[in-house]
Amino acid sequence: MLLEFCAENFDRVPEAIEKGIHRIELCDRLDVGGTTPHSEVQRETVNYAHMRGVQVVSMIRPRGGDFVYSDEEKETMIKQAHEAVDNGVDGLVFGCLTEEGQLDQSILNELIAIAQKANREVVFHMAFDHIPEESQKEVLEWLVDKGVTRILTRGGKEGSALDNSESINRTIRWANDRIQILPGGGVTHDNLPELSRTLNTNQFHGTKVVPL
């Protein structure tokens, strides 16, 4: 089982690695759903984690709230993506939508290209859960075609991964091993055994995937 620890800055990273996590999603401001961490935090976390064989992916998100970004915010995301790559992260985590809840393909193409040119992973985050259900399969196919590594999902706008297990398993079936599906949302070290029995995946994401 692969455990991804959602870290708000560096503070709890050493303890989480000691407890056995395999990958870190590095963020700032988890109180608003996660934003781009500072460059200094990225470098400190990458240096520490890589010495211990742990990967680090970085959130690229200029603010909390929705996933519809202004032109100025998109320029900020491009700048942040380049900086994160320069700081040595193993992947970029982002998601951009239109007012209609569809993929904002133009900015996504730019961000994906930044990551892939540097041979980094691309993760589409829980913006996926805000796409209309009838469009999600088509969106997944687009992400597969673009070579996106992974989709982080709680299976719905509300509820936990366990609550939405049927939806997550449906997405896993659609993926058919062409793109990783990473369940998050209410995942804890206490409910991991149940989640691993219920969801057809071997990787899980959260702030409490190990006891801290």
Work out how many domains the chain is built from and give that number. Answer: 1
Residue 212 lies in a domain: no
Residue 144 lies in a domain: yes
Domain with residue 199: its CATH number is 3.20.20.380
Residue 13 lies in a domain: yes
Domain that holds residue 134: 2-206
Residue 211 lies in a domain: no
**CB-side exposure of 168: number of CA atoms within 13 Å?**
31
Interacting residues of 28 by C-beta distance below 8 A, sequence separation 6+: 8, 9, 34, 35, 36, 37, 38, 41, 59
pLDDT in tens, 56-111: 999 999 999 999 999 999 999 999 999 999 999 999 999 999 999 999 999 999 99
pLDDT in tens, 143-187: 999 999 999 999 999 999 999 999 999 999 999 999 999 999 999
Query: What integer pLDDT is reported at residue 150 of this predicted model?
Result: 98
Residue 38 lies in a domain: yes
Q: Report phi then psi at 35, rounded to 5.
A: -130, 175
For the stretch 47-64, what's the b/e string if a residue is b when 16 or more beta carbons lie within 10 angstroms of its beta carbon?
A: ebbeeeebbbbbbbbbee
Mean pLDDT of the chain: 98
Query: What integer pLDDT is reported at residue 183 of this predicted model?
Result: 98
DSSP H or E stretch at residue 209: none
Cβ neighbours, 10 Å, residue 177? 7
